[in-house]
Amino acid sequence: MDALQNLKSTEIIMSALRNTAIAAGTVAALALGYAVYFDYRRRNDAAFRKTLRSSHKKVAKAKKAEEEQAIKKSSEALSEALAQVYAEGLPTGVEERESFFMEQVTKGEILFTQGEEHFLNAAICFYKAWKVYPQPVELLNIYQQTMPEGVFNIVVAMAAIESRTHADTATAAEDAGIDEDVPNPTATEASEASPADVEAVKAEEESEEEEVVVETIPVAAEATEEEPLE
């Protein structure tokens, strides 16, 4: 009796395996057939190729737009984080800076252990600590070795945004201080003068030169008459 039951169980298992193999073979055959059909149309149907290119362009465009939107949101979030740092301010005394550094590092470590959703707030804490540390390059190396990559990337991005903002501000101030940007009143008046005014000015200058020559000639003649005869 037990042998009969074992035989039936074996038959059931074998039947299930056969059905599974048949189903898998059918799926594989359908996939292969579709691949052959797809390749045939791609090679021989111009309209199909055009549709494929259009679909690829739409997908690439949507992906690019999604990436740009993500970058924009990320930049906005980092700018807001920097604004928060500026608004709260940083300590200036030596002891205050040391205490502030330890406090922010501890808070950052607690935050990033709570999950990725807390990475931004953790990065803000580490960035504040970095701002008061006397050797920032060394601290960045320590950060890279001791914190999650996501948190470290946010800290570096905040530093880059701040550096770029300072550079833009300095460039704008330098451009505003250039003397060439200051208008020249004389040049402006000359450019607005009419041809008649220019001719009148020239005639007046020539008249003044003639008067100088006329006044100089008699003086020279008198000097000649007063010379004693030998």
Domain count, the chain: 1
Give a yes or no: residue 203 inside a domain.
Answer: no
At residue 52 the predicted structure's pLDDT band, cuts being 50, 70 and 90, is confident
Q: What is the pLDDT of residue 6?
A: 58
Give a yes or no: residue 7 inside a domain.
Answer: no
Give a yes or no: residue 9 inside a domain.
Answer: no
Identify the CATH number of the domain in which residue 160 sits. 1.20.960.10
Q: How many helices (H) and strands (E) does the chain have?
A: 8, 0
Give a yes or no: residue 142 inside a domain.
Answer: yes
Give a yes or no: residue 132 inside a domain.
Answer: yes
Domain limits at 103?
73-172
Give a yes or no: residue 223 inside a domain.
Answer: no
Is the predicted pLDDT of residue 16 greater than 90, yes or no?
Answer: no
Model-wide pTM > 0.85? no
Between residues 22 and 228, the one the model is more confident about: 22
At residue 156 the predicted structure's pLDDT band, cuts being 50, 70 and 90, is very high
The distance of Cα 145 from the centroid of its chain, to the nearest Å, equals 26
Tokens, residue 169: 């501000």
At residue 168 the predicted structure's pLDDT band, cuts being 50, 70 and 90, is low
Is the predicted pLDDT of residue 107 greater than 80, yes or no?
Answer: yes
pLDDT digits (tens, 9 = 90+) for 188-229: 444 444 455 545 555 565 555 555 444 444 444 444 444 444
Determine the average pLDDT of the residues in 116-127: 92
Closest CA to 101 of 70, 142, 69, 71: 142
Give a yes or no: residue 117 inside a domain.
Answer: yes
Amino acid (1-letter code) at residue 68 = E
Give the integer Cα–Cα distance in Å for 140 and 49.
Answer: 51
Give a yes or no: residue 2 inside a domain.
Answer: no
Name the DSSP letter for residue 228: P
Between residues 101 and 86, the one the model is more confident about: 101
Q: What is the pLDDT of residue 182?
A: 45
Coil, strand or helix at 229: coil
